[in-house]
A and B are shown apart, each in its own frame.
Chain A
Amino acid sequence: MNHLPLIIKREYLTKVRNKSFIIMSFLSPIIMIGLISVVAYLSQVNNDKVRVISVLDNSGLLLDIFENTEHITYHKLQDLTLEEARVLAVESSSYGLLHIEKANSIKNISKGIKFYSEESPSIKVISDLKHKIQKELTIQNRIHIGIDIEKLKGSEIDVTILQENFEGEKTSESDSLAKLVFGIAAGYLLFMFIIIYGNMIMRSVIEEKTSRIIEVIISSVKPIQLMLGKIIGTSLAGITQFAIWLILGSVLMFVASMFLGIDLAEMQSPQQQMLQQTMENPEINFKAQQMLASFFNMPLTNLIIAFVLFFVCGYLLYSSLYAAIGAAVDNETDTQQFMMPIIMPLILAVYIGIFTVIEDPHGTVSTVFSFIPFTSPVVMLMRIPFGVPIWQQLISLLILIGTFILIVWFAAKIYRVGILMYGKKPSYKEIIKWIRY
């Protein structure tokens, strides 16, 4: 008799109706978004302060470059000694004093620049000043030694190597990057999903043992149906929660940015800010567009289908491992030691993916690992954007599914025999015997 749909339904409903599941489904995004909003708000408040920087330019060469911005007001001092300027700066409670010494050459000016401040200054302020001065002094120096700036600019040559495979499809550098990003993202998503929901499957397999209903259940259904039902039911519950997180998260994000006036998308760390500054550079902006275009250049249909299949099968494979552990032990405390060995191959897969696929997507190592079931979901997904023959993808997928079924079958065996051994921890010798039983 096929009870699989019935078991899946029960597992799903039990999980979804569980109070802590409901609370976490709705609370997690709220906490996450709340936290992000607070951080964003705080950093905005932090940025809002207008800093006054006193500038004493004894060289007289650089006065023009200090233009007031939203966050910084430059207070230009003239005809003062350094001592007087320092006193003035302290009195006017400036953020700091930038002193540029007079020197006989531009090169020497660059060595006589000092920043005085009460506390150690923000890295961002210093690097901004440094870039400003460096840029200006370089230009002045070039003019000074007789380099024609226009000619210099005109003489720069930008090289791009156009890439095309033998079938004539165009690719590019940014294509490769986009492909890698896709693969890594897929790998991490799988990784996250397994870590969050793997435990849930294990607990669900132990449930019958702790509630002592196991003998009733096992005399009604085949253990393999029970295992499959649990894996599928719990996974569906996981997907439900994930979907709630995504939807609720984006809604909350939208609401938060509307009401708090915080543009969360523009939440920036100094590095990101710099990155954004460079992004404003039209050339880089163009590159970003190229990236986006590259994404659509990838074999999208193949990629999406492969992503769904490999993600689902990879997830099922790892959850079957969790189920097997649940089948072998009596209570949750016995399971802790097994967690690491399960996650290891996954971590390995992500790193193999990053290091070997970038090197050579069709090299021996990456090819081999894209067939090994425990690493294939990640490595194959990374390889596919670079073009993998369909037959290879199919074989890898079949190996994956085969291994999954094998492990579920194995878990079912352990489960059935394990119930006869209440309270005894199974030794490896016994487990091997159970398999043959």
Chain B
Amino acid sequence: MTNLLEVNGVSKKFGDFTALNNVSLSVPKSSIYGLLGPNGAGKTTLIRIVNQITMPDTGSVFLDGEFLNGDHIKDIGYLPEERGLYKSMKVGEQALYLAQLKGLSKSEAKKRLKYWFDRLEIGDWWNKKIQELSKGMAQKIQFVVTVLHEPKLLIFDEPFSGFDPINANLIKDEILRLRENGATVIFSTHRMESVEELCDDIMLINKSNKILDGKLIDIKRQYKTNTYEVGITSSQKEAFELDVNQKFQTQPAHFKTLGEELKLNIKLSAGETPNDLLQYLTSKGEVSHFVELIPSVNDIFIQTVKNN
């Protein structure tokens, strides 16, 4: 069993509105899985089905090979986008309570809480009430509570919202560390740069339908356009420009450099290799910049959603 979570043909309707239409996905063990999609695409519904907050109309969900059932509550940690804590409860008590609801014993919960509070340097918050904390501080507590029972599957919905860059980085490192330790993470966000940084696999969902899924690197390969970003200084600038426009599909490029070179995006046609291009370029002038343009998740997102 290499997939921790298998969702097979899940559909969900609310009245006349279809929230999910025959969506399937598999999340490999110990990976970070990005769940992407525009607002209202059905991400939250999918997450709620995995959390057993709602039931799918049709389709099935398997966690670690077992049909999803009530015993799996302790195997899942969920950080919802709509989040909050009991405002009038003290931090420590609240964390203990939530941990016990997830099936930890009180002493075990206490031990682990101490470890996490020390780790995130929030030990002196234990006796504070949530309402005395700032939003970011409360988010930290929430994060600890989500991961405390060491679930097999962690679901983070916009985990970085409300954090300053330093804390966002801290949380990001913690998520990566959890993955190292064997946890599987489903990660839903609109911040494409963090998807780029963290995710091994992604799924793109739009208007209740899955439109794309797979390993991020495969998707990128699939979407690459064989375009290279080039910076070149030529002694005969105008002649070169004419020549290169004839030979290749080019577009002016924009990137920052220190010199005054000519900046171009050059798309190779089928059969041409980067080496061919590089040879051509070096014969024409001094190449100071040569990068393959890899499509960003952002580009893929916008492109597929628009085409869809």
User: Nearest CB to that of B74 among chain A residues?
Assistant: A1
Interface flags, B68-87, vs A, CB<8A=1, else 0: 00100110101010111111
Shortest distance between the CB of B197 and any CB in chain A (Å)? 26
- Whether the Cβ atoms of A219 and B52 lie closer than 8 Å is yes
- Interface flag for B126 (CB, 8 Å): no
Q: Across the two chains, which residue of chain B brings its CB closest to A433?
A: B15
Q: Which residues of A contact B76 (CB under 8 A)?
A: 219
By size class, the interface of chain B is 20 to 34
Assess whether A287 is interfacial by the CB under 8 Å rule: no
Chain A contacts of B84 at CB under 8 A? 211-213
Residues of A with C-beta under 8 A to B78: 215-216, 219
Give the contact stretch, choosing among B95-103, B221-229, B288-296.
Answer: B95-103
| Majority-rule SS of A interface residues | helix
**A6 x B97 contact (CB < 8 A):** yes
A39 within 8 A of B: no
Shortest CB-to-CB span from A33 to chain B, Å, is 30
Verify if A248 is at the interface (C-beta below 8 Å from B). no
Is the beta-carbon distance between B53 and A14 smaller than 8 angstroms?
Answer: no
Asked if residues A219 and B85 are in contact (CB atoms below 8 Å), the reply is no
Distance of A3 Cα from B74 Cα, bound (Å): 13
Bound form: Cα–Cα A222–B54 in Å:
12
Task: Kindly provide the distance from the CB of B58 to the nearest chain A CB, expressed in whole angstroms.
Answer: 15
Q: Are A1 and B83 in contact (CB under 8 A)?
A: no
Contact present for B100 and A212 (CB under 8 Å): no
Q: Is the CB of B97 within 8 A of A218?
A: no
Q: Which residues of A are found within 8 Å of B100, using beta-carbon distances?
A: 3, 6
Asked if B101 and A6 make an inter-chain contact with CB atoms under 8 angstroms apart, the answer reads yes
Contact A220–B98 (Cβ < 8 Å): yes
A417 to B142: give the CA distance in the assembly, Å.
Answer: 24
B51 within 8 A of A: yes
Q: Shortest beta-carbon distance, B110 to chain A, in Å?
A: 15
Residues of A within 8 A of B255 (CB): none
B54: contacting residue among A10, A14, A213, A420, CB under 8 A:
A420
**Cβ of B63 under 8 Å from chain A:** no
Q: Is B170 an interface residue (CB 8 A)?
A: no
Which residues from chain B contact A215 at a C-beta distance below 8 Å?
48, 51, 53, 78, 80, 82-83
- Nearest chain B CB to A21 CB, angstrom units: 11
Query: When the two chains form their complex, are residues A211 and B101 in contact, meaning their CB atoms are under 8 A apart?
Result: no
**Contacting residue for A220 out of B54, B85, B102, CB 8 A:** B102
Give the distance in Å from the alpha carbon of A52 to the alpha carbon of B16 in the complex.
87
Q: Are A220 and B83 also in contact (CB < 8 A) when A6-B97, A6-B100, A420-B14 are?
A: no
A residues near B (Cβ < 8 Å) are: 1, 3, 6, 10, 14, 18, 207, 211-222, 416-417, 419-420, 422
List 28 interface pairs A-B (beta carbons < 8 Å), by A numbering.
A1-B70, A1-B73, A6-B100, A10-B89, A10-B97, A14-B89, A18-B88, A207-B86, A211-B84, A211-B86, A212-B83, A213-B83, A213-B86, A214-B82, A215-B53, A215-B82, A215-B83, A216-B78, A216-B145, A217-B101, A219-B76, A220-B73, A220-B98, A222-B70, A416-B54, A417-B54, A420-B14, A422-B82
Q: Chain B interface (Cβ within 8 Å of chain A)?
A: 14, 48, 51-54, 70, 73-74, 76, 78, 80, 82-89, 97-98, 100-103, 142, 145-146
